[in-house]
């Protein structure tokens, strides 16, 4: 009689369902779901560019050859949810810490202004090596960014002070579930 030494497949394999998807794609699909089911209106902000040179290889096609950023963009996403303005930045992290150089001073200022005017502001951070995504409140990031002598936030700090967003099917990243728990807790 053979001894069964196999383990369930789920315990042997890493979660590969999302390989090839970027955080932006996951968020865009989630936002499309929220829009389709009339839960929220949240969109990716276009990056403002100034087109300088266009190549016209044929009459029916044009190719942008040279362009520059017009102005620094603020954050990646904004919209409205439950009557409140919502604004957030999305960052993919390939290491076990988030370097402060990956967020610009004008973005920190923008998130701070959103908070001061009563909006909801946060950062969605994806640790690509771990397939883990966290929502970190903007006020925590602003405080650490402005007061820290460190140059980064560790994975441990983010996982302890942020909120883990679980991957799902529809929506792929249900970050509004966390927004409800954190920003609308008095409604429950």
pLDDT at 181: 95
Q: What is the pLDDT of residue 53?
A: 75
pLDDT given for residue 8 in this prediction: 33
Give the start-to-end residue ranges of the domains of the chain: 19-46+72-187
pLDDT tens sequence for the chain (188 residues): 333 333 333 333 344 444 445 999 999 999 999 999 999 999 998 666 667 777 877 777 777 777 666 656 778 899 999 999 999 999 999 999 999 999 999 999 999 999 999 999 999 999 999 999 999 999 999 999 998 788 999 999 999 999 999 999 899 999 999 999 999 987 65
Could you tell me whether strands 77-81 and 84-93 are parallel, antiparallel, or unpaired per DSSP bridges?
A: antiparallel
Rounded to a whole number of angstroms, the CA Rg of the chain reads 20
Residue 19 has what pLDDT? 44
pLDDT at 74: 79
pLDDT at residue 108, rounded to an integer: 95
Nearest to 54 by CA among 69, 67, 41: 67
Predicted confidence at residue 2, as pLDDT, reads: 33
Instruction: Kindly report the CATH number that applies to the domain delimited by 19-46+72-187.
Output: 3.40.1350.10
Asked if residue 134 lies in contact with residue 162, where contact means CB atoms within 8 angstroms, the answer is: yes
DSSP state of 118: T
Report the pLDDT value the prediction gives residue 61, as an integer from 0 to 100. 79
The predicted structure's pLDDT at residue 48: 62
Reported pTM: 0.77
Asked if residue 171 has a cis previous peptide bond (ω within 30° of 0), the answer is yes
């Amino acid at each position: 009689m053979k001894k069964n030494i196999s383990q369930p497949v789920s315990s042997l394999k890493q979660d590969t369902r999302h390989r090839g998807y970027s955080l932006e794609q996951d968020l865009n699909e989630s936002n499309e779901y929220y829009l389709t089911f009339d839960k929220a209106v949240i969109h990716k902000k276009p990056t403002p560019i100034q087109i300088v040179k266009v190549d016209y290889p044929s009459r029916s096609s044009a190719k942008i050859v040279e362009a520059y950023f017009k102005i620094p963009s603020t954050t990646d996403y904004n919209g409205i949810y439950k009557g409140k303005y919502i604004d957030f930045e999305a960052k993919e992290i390939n290491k076990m810490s988030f370097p402060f150089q990956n967020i610009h001073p004008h973005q920190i200022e923008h998130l701070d202004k959103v908070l001061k005017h009563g909006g909801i502001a946060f950062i969605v951070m994806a640790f690509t090596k771990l397939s883990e995504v966290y929502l970190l409140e903007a006020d925590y990031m602003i405080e650490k960014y402005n007061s820290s002598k460190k140059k980064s936030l560790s994975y441990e700090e983010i996982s302890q002070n942020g909120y883990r967003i679980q991957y799902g099917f529809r929506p792929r990243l249900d970050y509004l579930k966390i927004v409800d728990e954190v920003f609308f807790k008095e409604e429950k």
